[in-house]
Amino acid sequence: MSFFGFGGGVLNAFITVHPTDKHSVSRDHLPTWKVRRNPFSLIKLNKPEKERNNSGTNLSDPAFTSKDRAVTKVFRDTDDICGEVILRVPPGKKAEHMGVQVQFFGRIISHSSYDGRPHQDFVSLSKQLEAPSVLYQPEKRYDFSFKQVEKMYESYGGKNVSIRYFVRVVVERKGIMPAIVSECEFIVQKTQSIPPSVNDPIKMEVGIEECLHIEFEYTKRKYHLSDCITGNIHFLLVQIKIKHMEIVLIRRESSGKLSSYNDSNPNGQQMLSNESDNLKTENQTLIKYEIMDGAPVRGEIIPVRLYLNSIPADLCPSYENIHNRFSVKYLLSLVLVDEEDRRYFKQSEIILWRKHLG
């Protein structure tokens, strides 16, 4: 249960949401673009909630925000959004309001807007909880639910664009007094229980004429977020002195007016129209590690094994074209470095999908 509250002097409003699924999960943070370079950061995230908060405060008190509690609920895209609104008045006081509304938003936020629209709502619903009245009792509660609402996109936190889901309670007040507003954000994830029906391996040959010729193969192109990438690299011809070889996983976020953009080339080459100034592309190295040290010989085979669970970042599925505003792709790059520090690399696109909540 996550509480958010904001006070209006005499009257205070709080809102909470909770999944209907008894086996729901929570996250310690909202999806973020950040890569955790500190290996000990996961220790803090995995601590029990009581240990994470050592201030002695009562975390069940709705006066504390989700930032204090560091817990955010995760919903499936098919879940109903249910919750509770609480209005509180100090004992012996009364408060008049001009109506109580609860609102549900699914919002795409552009951190660097290209068209003057910092955000765009693809879900916007509102329900009236109470007509104008006067509150005399210290506390009043309202249950609410938004059923069978299509949540077409996952929550996402990117470099230039994000997707947020949140509910908001608005308590209108008389005259020029501002409304009391309280929000509660939650995470939506889209799971896929059945693996992709078509999942061919990736096979490529790369090389330099009469100097280097290698074949590499990954067992498949599509992986779920806790999967393991496996493959082999076969050296057919080696006439240059290779110092080491590494594998790199890159996340590429493209945001802007995607109708003028074609990113279908798996090698990462971009084709833009004359509106390319509207497009922003961010490449982020998620993980890099060495898979070979020293010069290989002809006929040598190097195995590749990369566990996606080991990546210290919030992985999201691949996004092809979200609301014509952004896409997210993953590139697996094989890099060879010779003794003169020249780098030879080849990229291939892989597709990630979500199998479980989390």
Residues 149 and 19 in one domain: yes
Whether 67 maps to a domain, the answer reads yes
- Written as one letter, the residue type at 241 is K
> Do 205 and 213 form a contact (C-beta atoms < 8 A)?
yes
Residues 7 and 97 in one domain: yes
Residues 243 and 144 in one domain: no
Question: What is the reported pLDDT for 323?
Answer: 86
Residues 171 and 316 in one domain: no
Instruction: Tell me which range, 40-44, 46-50, 257-261, is most confidently predicted by mean pLDDT.
Output: 257-261
Q: pLDDT tens digits, residue range 303-354? A: 999 999 989 999 999 998 898 889 999 999 988 888 888 888 889 999 999 9
Whether 196 maps to a domain, the answer reads no
Q: What is the mean pLDDT of residues 57-70?
A: 37
- Higher-scoring residue by pLDDT: 40, 148: 148
User: What is the CA 93 to chain-centroid distance, rounded?
Assistant: 44
**Lowest mean pLDDT segment, chosen from 61-65, 146-150, 236-240, 282-286:** 61-65
Whether 197 maps to a domain, the answer reads no
Q: Which of 157, 189, 221 is the last residue of a domain?
A: 189
| Contacts of residue 264, Cβ cutoff 8 Å, sequence gap at least 6 | none
Dist CA 30 CA 62 (whole Å): 19
Q: Positive or negative CA dihedral for 303, 306, 307, 312?
A: positive
Question: What is the reported pLDDT for 92?
Answer: 86
Residues 150 and 272 in one domain: no
Residues 221 and 336 in one domain: yes
Nearest by Cα to 356 from 96, 58, 27: 27
* Token digits of residue 208: 């330099």
Q: What is the mean pLDDT of residues 265-272?
A: 43
What CATH number has the domain bearing residue 304? 2.60.40.640
User: What is the CA 83 to chain-centroid distance, rounded?
Assistant: 23
Residues 101 and 16 in one domain: yes
Q: Which domain holds residue 138?
A: 2-189
Q: Which of 189, 219, 238 is the last residue of a domain?
A: 189
